[in-house]
Chain A
């Protein structure tokens, strides 16, 4: 910044749209230092703790039946909730991005709302709705339908928490792409489905996948909301994050961090997948609008 040049532009060797090497170096250093303190250290500590007593103990901790049950439950919950939010996200993005209508900002806000609802409340709302003391509770019980403290409740809480992820990812992307391609397809006689399937979907597929990956990561990692509706029955309604808490509370720190490291690993795999996608199809993901 101090090196900025006042002299006539003709003598300036720098490109006018970049910073001096010094400024660039400082910015990179600041960004990396910030991320190191806030992102990498927590990640490192998870793995350091997990392997504190060696790989054997690490693997043994993961092979515990209750831990395996937690892993299976987490996979099941994600396998149900992510597709639900995927379908919703696509539908909502289509309506919001491809059409102009009144109340759009309001609707977008409602979709964002779950981001801002405390996970504690997210769990609580389902307890108020389906709990034994609610209006629905006795009816559900007399019909033998279990929602709270069973898989459906955990799925609902997870869907709530991960609700906006796919839609949030798709809406700006589809807004940016406009409606030209679809209008052309319709004009050429394609049906609505065909237009969506052959024109829109190829345009948004990477953004869609990205949204799904994030949604999935968050779904598997959710703790607060699930904790309220799970009932914590060992080996039955504990998801991986709950299992982490339980192990931690049993002073079994290695096992707790082993399960946590699995979740972190999952996050990393997600991120690696995303990175590979970006490297191979970078221009497609960035969208046609990116000028460089």
Chain B
């Protein structure tokens, strides 16, 4: 046997002296299967009982497609807003010192902890036409609550911590020497940021985006309060699932659920692959 360090030849697991791989992976897989995979397989199985033509008819029904479009569209907008402002918030929290910074830092996790229904009620109270912010906005001619914009507001709220919390630790790790080198080489500050820092942060920003997006797509509790819930306009896919359940139409409900699951899963998988790739390439990432 020779020592080949550069090109490890391993089939599915790189040999390691550390123990516990079988135990921990085994436990993780069993737990994952029991809590997540088997129950979700139930959804897939239930919708499979429909038969392909019927499944396809439900999945491509105009109302379903419209609800999916609204859910995914609003989530896309919300996740994009969160990327822009989340990165700014993370940057401010990591780089600057100002009074109340720690409080602000702590408050970022609030949407994790506040029940979604409470968030929905509170946001509606603020953005409704007679609310603290809604009233001045209506005077200016903007309607927020009970429109698709309201959906975006709720989704921004619940998605924010995902972006900040994935980007923040990576930002903390940035080696300032890189910035110094860039500056010495004549780069302006904004060039350093856009050409040097942001590409390095991209994988973590992407992860944050994906998590915020994925979470937003499924959100129900906070959205139904602030969305108008008008079919074809502000009716989100999870609400359509609930409506199908009210009709005792379990197959249709699970079919819509299965479509949402599939889209989310593919998206998360792509993101994680990109991550793994960028980790190998750049050596860091969330």
Contacts and interface: CB of A to CB of B under 8 A. Distances in A.
Contact of B268 (A113, A156, A279): A113
Given A116-B218, A182-B18, A221-B113, A34 B36 contact: no
Contacts of B118: 46, 221, 241, 244, 260, 263-264
Residue from A18, A37, A106, A117 whose CB has the most chain B CB atoms within 10 Å = A117
A108 B38 CA distance: 17
Interface of B: 10-14, 16-21, 23-25, 27-28, 31-32, 35-40, 42-43, 46, 85, 88-89, 91-93, 95-96, 98, 102-119, 121-123, 125-126, 132-133, 153, 156-157, 160, 162, 169, 172-173, 175-176, 179-180, 182-184, 188-190, 192, 211, 214-215, 217-221, 237-238, 241-242, 245, 250, 253-254, 257, 260-261, 264-265, 267-269, 272-273, 275-276, 279, 284-286
B163 to A, nearest CB: 12
A260 B116 CA distance: 10
Interface of A: 1, 4, 9, 16-20, 23-24, 27-28, 30-32, 34-35, 37-43, 45-46, 49, 84, 87-88, 90-92, 94-96, 98-121, 124-126, 128-129, 134, 156, 159-160, 163, 172, 175-176, 179, 182-183, 186-187, 191-192, 195-196, 214, 217-218, 220-224, 227, 240-241, 244-245, 248, 256, 260, 263-264, 266-268, 270-272, 274-275, 278-279, 286-287, 289-292
B interface, over-half SS:
helix
A255 to B, nearest CB: 13
Given A113-B265, A126-B39, 14 more contacts: A16-B189, A34-B89, A46-B114, A84-B31, A87-B27, A103-B12, A109-B268, A109-B272, A113-B36, A221-B113, A224-B221, A264-B114, A271-B110, A286-B172
A182 B17 CA distance: 9
Contacts of B14: 99-101
A107 B180 CA distance: 39
Contacts of B157: 38-39, 42
B218 A267 contact: no
A279 B106 CA distance: 12
B28 A290 contact: no
B283 to A, nearest CB: 10
